[in-house]
Structure 1
Amino acid sequence: MTKQTILGRVAQLAKANINALLDQAEDPQMMLDQLIRDYSNNITEAEQAVASTIGNLRLMEQDHQEDVEAAREWGEKALAASRKADVLRVSGQSADADRFDNLAKVALGRQLQSEKEAKTAEPTIASQTEVVDKLKSGLEQMKSKLTELQAKRDELVARAKSAQAQNQMMDAVKNIDVMDPTSELSRFEDKVRREEAKALGKQELAASSLDAQFEQLDTLSDSAEIETRLAALKSGS
């Protein structure tokens, strides 16, 4: 995966509007689960690409440092050879002096080459450093967005469970509504009232029967009294 592709995906995912996506989703929880998987996978891929880019940058920085150090060392060698040539020339050893001057020139050529290589690498190093900084920033945004996604999912699941519990409670309350004439409680109450009415009927019936018996007893008492009085009349009492 190229740096440009990674940068594009990092930027696209980091700018994703979660709330807008949720509004468009038929199943928000399923969509969030999929987004979390996508983010996690992309973060893993991006981390690998960033690590590779950083590794290449560090190698370039090491090569650049080596070129800078080589240029310094060749400069010191050129200076040493030039001074040696000067000493030899003063002492009349022109041939040896020329040889050391030639060595100084060779060293200066190596110094110039190392400086050019170091200078050529500097723009690339600067560009790669900028890329790495953007990738690191994008990764942090993606991780932050992943945390936001996970929090949204947890919130959504909690709200769904709460709504489900409320619905279950309301269904239970509805099933035991004492004002509902079709409820089991109402039917049981009707049954109790019918039994109570039956008991009242039996009591009333029993009371009527008892009154009739007492009335009959009163009638018998009156008849006996009449017979007694009649007998007394006949006997001349």
Structure 2
Amino acid sequence: MAKQTIFGRISTLVRANINQIIDDAEDPQKMLDQLVRDYTNNIADAKTAIAQTIGNVRLLEQDHEEDKKAAVEWGQKAANASAAAADKYRAEGKASEADKFDNLAKIAIGKQIAAEQEVKDAEPNLASQNEAVEKLKTGLAGMEQKLEQLRAKRDNLVARSKTAEAQSRVNDALGNIDVLDPTSDLGRFEEKVRREEAKVLGQQELQSSSLDAQFESLEDVGKDAEVEARLAALKSGGSSTI
């Protein structure tokens, strides 16, 4: 499986999940938590795919080593058969037996050549596959790093969201209590208190006026008494002054 195929599919899933989560978001923290979970699951899927890819490459490497061993073994068998034909049977004058072992040596050499060709043919593919594996490992490490960044960003955004929400509530509360607004609840209550205070002042003033009137009536009574006394004095022939 190619690197682009694995990470391209995951990238598509991540973008689709992000768009869906943002469209459906009501609670920012829930949205970000879900995003972290989705990205974590995507990393798990990537690990599974990469592990399978690595496993396939390791199988190819095992086959490659087996081919190299086979080439060595067939080469050894060819050498043994050729040596047997030359050293034993030809020396003993057994030409038919010697030819038999020479034919076996040829067969072994043919298999050796085939194994060597398989080894040679597999090497470019193995090199390419191992390079792809290293890129996949690097890509996975990058995804895991992005996940840590996402988690940190999630924590930061949640904190900022809560701060903004709290500030909004404070602003709403401040807006509901405006000491300079006569139409606000506080303003209306202040006006009510002022009316009560004015009423008390009026009552006090009214009471004060009533007392003044009473004292004035007392003074009028005193004046009337003096007039009567002087009138009585005049009638008796006395002085009209005291």
Query: Structure 1-normalised TM-score?
Result: 0.76
The range that moved more, 183-192 or 132-141, is: 132-141
1:51 is aligned to: 51
Equivalent AA in structure 2 for residue 136 of structure 1: K
Measured against aligned partners, the alpha-carbon deviations of 1:59-97 in whole angstroms (never above 9, x if no partner) come to 111111011111222233333344444442585354455
Higher RCO structure (Cα 8 Å, ≥6 apart): 1
1:186 is aligned to: 187
Please give the alpha-carbon distance, in whole angstroms, between the structure 2 residues aligned to 1:39 and 1:221: 106
Change (3 A) 1:11 1:207: closer
Equivalent AA in structure 2 for residue 66 of structure 1: E
Change (3 A) 1:233 1:8: closer
Q: Do residues 175 (structure 1) and 188 (structure 2) align? A: no
1:62 is aligned to: 62
The range that moved more, 57-66 or 163-172, is: 163-172
Please give the alpha-carbon distance, in whole angstroms, between the structure 2 residues aligned to 1:135 and 1:49: 10
The number of residues matched between the two structures is: 228
Please give the alpha-carbon distance, in whole angstroms, between the structure 2 residues aligned to 1:188 and 1:39: 56
Following superposition, the deviation at residue 204 of structure 1 comes to 1.1
Measured against aligned partners, the alpha-carbon deviations of 1:17-72 in whole angstroms (never above 9, x if no partner) come to xxxx99xx889969978876775565444333322222221111111101111122
1:156 is aligned to: 157
Following superposition, the deviation at residue 144 of structure 1 comes to 3.0
Equivalent AA in structure 1 for residue 191 of structure 2: D
Equivalent AA in structure 1 for residue 75 of structure 2: G
Following superposition, the deviation at residue 181 of structure 1 comes to 1.3
Q: Is the 8 A contact 1:10 1:138 kept in 2?
A: no
Q: Secondary structure at the match of 2:183?
A: coil
Please give the alpha-carbon distance, in whole angstroms, between the structure 2 residues aligned to 1:109 and 1:132: 34
**Within-5 A mapping of 1:22-171:** 39=39, 42-88=42-88, 92-95=92-95, 96-171=97-172
The range that moved more, 180-189 or 155-164, is: 155-164
Please give the alpha-carbon distance, in whole angstroms, between the structure 1 residues aligned to 2:165 and 2:137: 42
Following superposition, the deviation at residue 184 of structure 1 comes to 0.9
Query: Structure 2-normalised TM-score?
Result: 0.75
Change (3 A) 1:132 1:4: closer
Equivalent AA in structure 1 for residue 77 of structure 2: K
Change (3 A) 1:156 1:99: same
Q: Is the 8 A contact 1:57 1:125 kept in 2?
A: yes
Q: Do residues 198 (structure 1) and 184 (structure 2) align? A: no
Equivalent AA in structure 1 for residue 209 of structure 2: S
Change (3 A) 1:207 1:31: closer
The range that moved more, 2-11 or 154-163, is: 2-11
Please give the alpha-carbon distance, in whole angstroms, between the structure 2 residues aligned to 1:105 and 1:212: 152
Change (3 A) 1:9 1:36: farther
Note the aligned Cα RMSD (angstroms). Answer: 3.5
Which runs of 5 or more residues in structure 1 are unaligned?
none
